[in-house]
Structure 1
Amino acid sequence: MRALRILLIITVILGGIFVAADRIAVNLAESEAADKIKSSQGLSSTPEISIKGFPFLTQVAGKELEEVDVSLTGITATAGGHSVNVTEVKAELRNVKIDSTFSSAVADRADGSARISYADLTKAAPKGATVGYAGADRAAKGQVKVTGPLTDLLDGAGIQVPGAFKGLLAGRTVSTYSTVALKGGSTVQLRAESLPTLPVPGFDEKLRKVIDYDLKIDGMPSSIKLDKVQATDGGLRFSGTGTSVSLAG
């Protein structure tokens, strides 16, 4: 019995050593992958990497990881020369194959998501405009609320109002619901549902050109195509999928 107890103790100790070695190895691999992703994607900060599955060393021996989760920061959206942060950027990569030199990896499939807050959407909006949550019913239709003083919107776009008409526009506020759509997998379009009729000839079309604008999301892996956008109470949430997505290299 004493020999059996000793054997069990040794087994537990060896098992603990293996688990410790496995966790050390996965931590080193996560750190190395994070540095490579930062370099290859040109990010301003190091992403967070989480390699799932146990044991890790067995997966490495087979040169395929079951799942790798990536959280990115330093992603931006641009519109009209303005740059804003994209928050909560995540990618879940499945069946990640490692090459023979362990220098790069490619995932069979990746599910990506990102969120832009209304505060950041406002930063990229036309000067004078505020973008906000439109309520549950409108959000279900993929709409956001856009508001702003009419004269501020026109002045911000460099549109001159003839002096004879300035009094007619003073004090007016534009309030509309804009439908959000995706184009080309990386460009977000905001298009107003309706706009007020202005008492100045030709200015209805000019206001439309101010309110309707595009946002281009930069920095996402090119092989992940965003194909869905949702308006939530916290901002716009985007999601998409990709195949043969490079994790590092």
Structure 2
Amino acid sequence: MRALRILLIVAVVLGGIFVAADRIAVNMAESQAADKIKTSQGLSSTPEISIKGFPFLTQVMGKELDEVDVSLAGITATADGRSVNVTEVEAQLRAVRINSSFSSAVADQADGSARISYADLTKAAPEGATVSYAGAERAAKGQVKVTGPAVELLEGAGIPVPGSIKEELGDSTIDAYSTVVLRDGSTVQLKAVTLPKLPGPGMEDRLREIVDYDLEIAGMPSSVKLDKVEATDAGLRFSGTGQNVSLTS
């Protein structure tokens, strides 16, 4: 019985040592992978890497990782020189195959997502405009609400407003609804589908020139291809899926 207890104690101790060694190894691998991905993908900041699954060492011996989660910071979107943060940029990589020299890796599947809040969308909007949630019915159509004082919007864009029209508009507010479309994985386009009537010839066309604008998302890694955008109550959510994604090229 005493010998059995000793064997059990030794097994527990050795198991603890293995677990500790496994965790040390995975922490080192996460750090090195983060540096490698930052360099190869041309990122402005180092991503956070989390390698899932246990034990890690047996995954390495088999040269395939079950799942690797990547979180990115420092991603921005710009519109006419106005820059805002893109939040919650994440990628889930599955079945990551490592080459024999451990110098490159390819994921069978990569699911990426990102979000821009309405507060940040407003920062990138034309002067005087506020971008907000358009309600469940319009959000289901991929639409957001754009509002702002009529005169401030027009004059903020450098459009002269004659005194008579300015007097007629007064302090009235413009309410417009815009459809959001994602182009080429990095360009967010806002296109107005409804605009209020404005006094004066051509003023509605000038207004459309203001509320229709593009956001360029800069700094996304080349391995994350976003192809879908949804309007949620928390902001715009982008997502995309890729196969056979190289992490080091």
Q: Is the pair's TM-score, using the shorter chain for normalization, greater than 0.5?
A: yes
TM-score bin (small chain): over 0.9
Q: Please state whether the residue corresponding to 2:17 is helix, strand or coil.
A: helix
Shift of 1:184: 1.8
Instruction: Name 2:99's counterpart in structure 1.
Output: 99
Shift of 1:214: 1.3
Q: Give the residue type in structure 1 aligned to 2:14.
A: L
Instruction: Name 1:186's counterpart in structure 2.
Output: 186
- Structure 2: runs of 5 or more not aligned: none
1:63 aligns with 2:57: no
Q: Please state whether the residue corresponding to 2:226 is helix, strand or coil.
A: strand
- Structure 1: runs of 5 or more not aligned: none
Q: Give the residue type in structure 1 aligned to 2:38.
A: K
Instruction: Name 2:83's counterpart in structure 1.
Output: 83
Q: Please state whether the residue corresponding to 1:226 is helix, strand or coil.
A: coil
**Deviations 1:139-171 (CA, angstroms, capped at 9, x unpaired):** 222211110011111112111223443322332
Kept after mapping to 2: 8 A contact 1:109/1:244: yes
How many residues end up aligned between the 2 structures? 249
Q: Distance in 2 between matches of 1:212 and 1:37?
A: 35
Instruction: Name 2:161's counterpart in structure 1.
Output: 161
Q: Distance in 1 between matches of 2:85 and 2:119?
A: 10
Instruction: Name 1:2's counterpart in structure 2.
Output: 2
**Deviations 1:43-66 (CA, angstroms, capped at 9, x unpaired):** 343221110111111111121111
Instruction: Name 2:43's counterpart in structure 1.
Output: 43
Q: Distance in 2 between matches of 1:71 and 1:51?
A: 12
Q: Distance in 1 between matches of 2:177 and 2:166?
A: 25
**Deviations 1:166-210 (CA, angstroms, capped at 9, x unpaired):** 322332211112111212222111111211121111111111111
Instruction: Name 2:203's counterpart in structure 1.
Output: 203
Q: Distance in 2 between matches of 1:56 and 1:174?
A: 57
Sequence identity percentage: 76
Instruction: Name 1:15's counterpart in structure 2.
Output: 15
Q: Distance in 2 between matches of 1:5 and 1:227?
A: 59
The normalised TM-score by structure 1 is: 0.93
Moved more, 34-43 or 197-206: 34-43
What are the residue-to-residue correspondences of 1:234-245 with 2, within 5 Å? 234-245=234-245
Q: Please state whether the residue corresponding to 2:34 is helix, strand or coil.
A: helix
The normalised TM-score by structure 2 is: 0.93
Shift of 1:110: 0.2
Q: Distance in 2 between matches of 1:68 and 1:46?
A: 15
Shift of 1:75: 0.7
Q: Give the residue type in structure 1 aligned to 2:111.
A: D
- Superposition RMSD in Å: 1.6
Q: Give the residue type in structure 2 aligned to 1:247.
A: L
Q: Distance in 1 between matches of 2:36 and 2:152?
A: 45
Q: Please state whether the residue corresponding to 1:215 is helix, strand or coil.
A: strand
Kept after mapping to 1: 8 A contact 2:40/2:247: no
